[in-house]
C-alpha cells in the first residue's frame, strides 16, 4: 500500500472537510468549516497531517504545538482503510513533529464511549487521566 504522509495545503480544505464527514468522530458539534481549516493551515502549516493514497485522503491528524503542550485532534482513518497501520503512522509523524519543537507531552480528547479510539490510543502508548475534566468556553 503506497501511502504518503504530508501536511495539508489550502487546496486540500474541501477534501479534508468531506473526509471528516466520512471518517472522523465528533463532526456534528459544529466548527468544522472552510474558514476554520484555512486558518489552521495558515497559522501552522504542517499541523494538519494527511495520509494520502492515489490522491485521496485516507487519514488525518491535527498535531498542534502551542509552545507549551502538544495537542492532537481529528484522528481519523477512512473506514475502508482501518486497521492497516495508517493511524499509527499518523501518530508517529505527529510525535516526531512535536519532538522537533522540543515538545514533552502530547494529549488528545477522547470520548469515554469511543472504545475503537481507546484501542488505537492505548496501542500508541496514551493513557487516560481520570482526574481531569475539560473546561470550555465558546469565544
Ligand atoms: C481510531 C482510528 C483513527 C485508528 O486508525 P487505524 O488506522 O485503524 O489504526 P491502526 O491500524 O494504526 O491501529 C494501530 C493499533 O491500534 C489498535 N487498534 C486499532 N483499531 C482497533 C480495533 N478496531 N480493535 C482493536 N484494536 C485496534 C491495534 O493495537 C492496532 O495495532 P494492530 O493492528 O497491529 O493490532 C480509526 O479507528 C478511526 O478513524 N476511528 C473513527 C474516528 C475516531 O474515533 N477517531 C478518534 C477520535 S479520539
Provide the 3-class DSSP secondary structure of residue 24: coil
Output the pLDDT for position 75: 98
Distance between CA atoms of 137 and 88, rounded to whole angstroms? 31
List the grid coordinates of 105: 507531552
Is 136 domain-assigned? no
Per the structure, the complete domain to which residue 27 belongs is given by 4-123
Is 139 domain-assigned? no
Is 12 domain-assigned? yes
Q: What are phi and psi of 54, to 5 degrees?
A: 50, 40
Q: What number of residues does the chain have?
A: 139
Output the pLDDT for position 1: 63
The position carrying cell 501536511 is 7
Number of domains in the chain: 1
Distance from Cα 139 to the centre of ligand 1, integer Å: 33
Output the pLDDT for position 54: 97
pTM: 0.97
Is 40 domain-assigned? yes
Is 138 domain-assigned? no
Q: Is the CB of 22 under 6 A from ligand 1?
A: no
Distance between CA atoms of 93 and 21, rounded to whole angstroms? 23
CATH for 29: 3.40.630.30
Is 131 domain-assigned? no
Output the pLDDT for position 26: 77
Is 137 domain-assigned? no
Q: Across the 139 residues of the chain, what is the mean pLDDT of every consecutive 10-residue run? A: 94 97 84 93 96 98 96 98 98 98 96 96 97 93
Closest protein CA for atom 26 of ligand 1: 119
Distance from Cα 128 to the centre of ligand 1, integer Å: 16
List the grid coordinates of 57: 485522503
Distance from Cα 97 to the centre of ligand 1, integer Å: 21
Amino acid at each position: 500500500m503506497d501511502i504518503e504522509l504530508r501536511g495539508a495545503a489550502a487546496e486540500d480544505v474541501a477534501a479534508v472537510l468531506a473526509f471528516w464527514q466520512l471518517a472522523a468522530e465528533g463532526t456534528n458539534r459544529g466548527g468544522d468549516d472552510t474558514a476554520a481549516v484555512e486558518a489552521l493551515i495558515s497559522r501552522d502549516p504542517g499541523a494538519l497531517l494527511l495520509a494520502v493514497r492515489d490522491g485521496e485522503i485516507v487519514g488525518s491528524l491535527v498535531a498542534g504545538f502551542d509552545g507549551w503542550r502538544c495537542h492532537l485532534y481529528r484522528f481519523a482513518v477512512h473506514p475502508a482503510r482501518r486497521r492497516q497501520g495508517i493511524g499509527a503512522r499518523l501518530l508517529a509523524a505527529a510525535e516526531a513533529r512535536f519532538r522537533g519543537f522540543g515538545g514533552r507531552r502530547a494529549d488528545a480528547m477522547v470520548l469515554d464511549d469511543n472504545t475503537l479510539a481507546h484501542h488505537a490510543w492505548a496501542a500508541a502508548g496514551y493513557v487516560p487521566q481520570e482526574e481531569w475534566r475539560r473546561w470550555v468556553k465558546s469565544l
